[in-house]
């Protein structure tokens, strides 16, 4: 008999949420494992994650050796597997970790129901069953699975018998009956699975993901879309090399545009996520004058910032990416709505301009005044003052107001726009990306940061021309576009990818936990754990073709 049996626990919590018509499942994983079991833990985690549908499930990770990734921190399957570390001994009790899991679920996801799966190489003891019964007593935990693996010895107790019985869900479970202790009866919610002959893929909630592409005809299409609409390659019957694809907003179907808008609105207005949303948006405001718009930070900082916001949106629908607004492609009609240009459309767009008489509050669409409010940290009086200061020629109707900007219920806490000026031309975009050579990166970076970046902020006006610009939805589409121009530059060749940003231990400001800059230089390996992002057709036309178009 062994004095100590290594305990390996895998806690899987599945929670269903509905919001804005969205349905999901939260998956919280707790691992309690010694160093010797690292490989087993990693393999089991990876295989289980591959079987979980990210379209229907959210995922988090908690371990008794200190590693944690909350539901709202999920980025990708590969990032989660990378959280596991070798040579770290456990130092927390399972009870403490399960409490942290429930705290996580009782935060932003307090209205959700849960399913719990525990994987352990420890015997089925009275203590373990009591812990499961405690979890089962929570009405939100609808089902609990205990997966027994490895050595099933009873740690010195004298079992009268080891018997099989068939569970209500069709799985055969080991039951231990002790002569020295009165057996604790498990709650009916608990389903116990043994190591031999039990495949977790039989569980209903692990059948939703299809990583197989057997039968795909490569002659018809090189790429395959997975459940989250990532663009993948089919290699040896498996989906691999999967990229999130950011599309130009107006090239998206109306259904795709509405999906993005509805998820954005839900995240930014739901009381459950108000603190999370406001805190993240506030990063940009707090560090606006502290260096994030300097060359050393600008490109990688905003790449990380856009990715982080996109990760939050994907908690509600993993098919969502942040579109880019190609203001150069549409520069001749940047502030209008046309059959092929939808960004300012009332339905299927971000709404229109602000009303001068309403102090530039947006008048229609999803983000109109009294329908949507910006982040709650901003000060309306400061925004009104900044807008007045940015107007070169103040209209007669605003002269008295701009002398002493006052906040009223009519103009308080609304999204503001003040369309003015022109956007950069398609020729400017095309020639900057294609003609500047490797030695001209500083020139390229300066154009993007000081010309295109600032010009669009000022041209949209309103919130976008203030320190509070990240409160506006178009902020994310604009910075997605800027990131796409950098990716287009990087894709010119290998030397372009690492140009200027070397692998030094320079950290990006603001983010907690802190992040190194070099992890956000390559769009095919973001966060240092293989997140892949690409942009679809930043330069869809040659200059000759573009000039021949009706709007060219």
The rounded mean pLDDT for the chain is 82
Give which of 377, 376, 369 is closest to 462, Cα–Cα.
369
Distance CA(205)–CA(12), nearest Å, equals: 11
Predicted confidence (pLDDT) at residue 134 exceeds the cutoff of 90: no
Name the pTM for this structure.
0.88
Which domains, and CATH codes, for the chain? 12-206 (3.40.50), 214-246 (no CATH), 250-352+419-548 (1.10.1280.10)
Query: Residue 170 — pLDDT band, cuts 50, 70, 90?
Result: very low
Query: Helical H runs in 108-232?
Result: 126-136
Give the model's pLDDT for residue 3: 38
pLDDT per residue as tens digits for the range 278-293: 999 999 999 999 999 9
Predicted confidence (pLDDT) at residue 548 exceeds the cutoff of 50: yes
Q: What average pLDDT score do residues 350-369 get?
A: 93
- Decide: 411 and 361 in contact? Cβ < 8 Å: yes
* Segment among 176-180, 270-274, 353-357 with least mean pLDDT: 176-180
Predicted confidence (pLDDT) at residue 479 exceeds the cutoff of 60: yes
Distance CA(38)–CA(25), nearest Å, equals: 27
CA distances from 65 to 147, 522, 529 (A): 20, 31, 20
Predicted confidence (pLDDT) at residue 350 exceeds the cutoff of 90: yes
Query: Residue 139 — pLDDT band, cuts 50, 70, 90?
Result: confident
Which phi and psi angles does 176 have, rounded to 5°?
-105, 135
In terms of Cβ atoms closer than 10 Å to its own Cβ (0-12, 13-18, 19+), residue 444 is: buried
Distance of CA 114 to the CA centre of its chain: 21
Which phi and psi angles does 191 have, rounded to 5°?
-125, 120
How does DSSP classify residue 449? I
Predicted confidence (pLDDT) at residue 22 exceeds the cutoff of 60: no
Q: What average pLDDT score do residues 106-121 get?
A: 75
- Decide: 297 and 303 in contact? Cβ < 8 Å: no
* Segment among 14-28, 294-308, 459-473 with least mean pLDDT: 14-28
pLDDT per residue as tens digits for the range 57-96: 888 888 888 888 898 999 999 999 988 876 677 788 888 8
Higher-scoring residue by pLDDT: 393, 535: 535
pLDDT per residue as tens digits for the range 180-220: 356 777 777 777 776 544 456 667 777 656 677 877 766 56
Q: Which residues of 408-424 are buried (b: 16+ CB within 10 A; e: fewer)?
A: eeebebbbbbbbbeebb
Predicted confidence (pLDDT) at residue 10 exceeds the cutoff of 90: no
Query: Helical H runs in 209-345?
Result: 254-269, 274-286, 298-314
């Amino acid at each position: 008999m062994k004095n100590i049996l290594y305990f390996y626990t895998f806690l899987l919590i599945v929670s269903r949420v509905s919001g804005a018509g969205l349905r999901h499942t939260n998956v919280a994983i707790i691992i309690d494992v010694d160093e010797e079991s690292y490989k087993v833990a990693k393999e089991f985690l990876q295989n289980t994650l591959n079987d979980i549908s990210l379209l229907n499930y959210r995922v988090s990770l908690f371990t008794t050796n200190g590693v944690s990734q909350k539901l709202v921190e999920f980025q990708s399957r590969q990032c989660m597997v990378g959280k596991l570390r070798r040579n770290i001994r456990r130092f927390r009790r399972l009870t403490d970790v399960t409490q942290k899991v429930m705290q996580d679920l009782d935060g932003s996801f307090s209205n959700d129901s849960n399913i719990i799966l525990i994987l352990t190489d420890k015997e089925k003891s009275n203590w373990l069953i009591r812990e499961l019964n405690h979890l089962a007593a929570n009405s939100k935990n609808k089902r609990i699975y205990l997966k027994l693996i490895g050595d099933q010895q009873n740690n010195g107790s004298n079992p009268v018998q080891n018997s099989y019985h068939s569970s209500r869900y069709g799985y055969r479970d080991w039951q231990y009956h002790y002569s020295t202790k009165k057996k604790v009866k498990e709650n009916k919610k608990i389903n116990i699975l043994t190591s031999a002959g039990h495949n977790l893929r039989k569980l209903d909630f692990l059948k939703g993901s299809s990583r197989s592409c057997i039968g795909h005809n490569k002659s018809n299409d090189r790429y395959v879309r997975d459940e989250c609409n990532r663009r993948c390659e089919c290699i040896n019957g498996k989906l691999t090399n999967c990229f999130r694809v950011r599309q130009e907003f107006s090239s998206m179907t109306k259904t795709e545009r509405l999906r993005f808008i509805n998820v954005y609105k839900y995240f930014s207005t739901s009381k459950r996520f108000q603190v999370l949303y406001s805190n993240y948006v506030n990063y940009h405001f707090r560090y606006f004058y502290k260096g994030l718009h300097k060359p050393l930070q600008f490109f990688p900082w905003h790449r990380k910032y856009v990715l982080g916001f996109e990760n939050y949106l994907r908690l509600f629908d993993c098919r969502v990416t942040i579109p880019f607004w190609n203001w150069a492609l549409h520069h001749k009609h940047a502030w209008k709505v046309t059959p092929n240009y939808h960004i300012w459309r009332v339905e299927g767009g971000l709404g229109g301009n602000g009303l001068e008489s309403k102090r530039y509050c947006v008048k229609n669409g999803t983000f109109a005044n009294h329908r949507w409010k910006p982040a709650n940290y901003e000060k309306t009086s400061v925004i009104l003052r900044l807008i007045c200061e940015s107007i070169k020629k103040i209209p007669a109707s605003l002269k008295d107001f701009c002398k002493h900007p006052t906040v009223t219920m009519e103009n308080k806490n609304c999204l503001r726009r003040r369309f003015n000026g022109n956007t950069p031309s398609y020729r400017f975009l095309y020639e900057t990306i294609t003609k500047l050579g490797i030695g001209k990166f500083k020139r390229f970076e300066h154009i993007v940061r000081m010309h295109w970046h600032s010009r669009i902020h000022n041209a949209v006006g309103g919130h976008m021309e203030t320190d509070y610009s990240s409160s506006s939805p178009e902020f994310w589409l604009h910075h997605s576009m800027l990131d796409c121009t950098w990716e287009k530059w990087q894709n010119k060749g290998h030397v372009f990818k690492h140009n200027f940003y070397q692998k030094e231990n320079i950290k990006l400001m603001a983010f907690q936990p802190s992040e190194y800059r070099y992890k956000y230089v390559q769009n095919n390996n973001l966060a240092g754990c293989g997140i892949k992002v690409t942009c679809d057709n930043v330069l869809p036309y040659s200059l000759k073709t573009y000039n021949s178009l009706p709007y060219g």
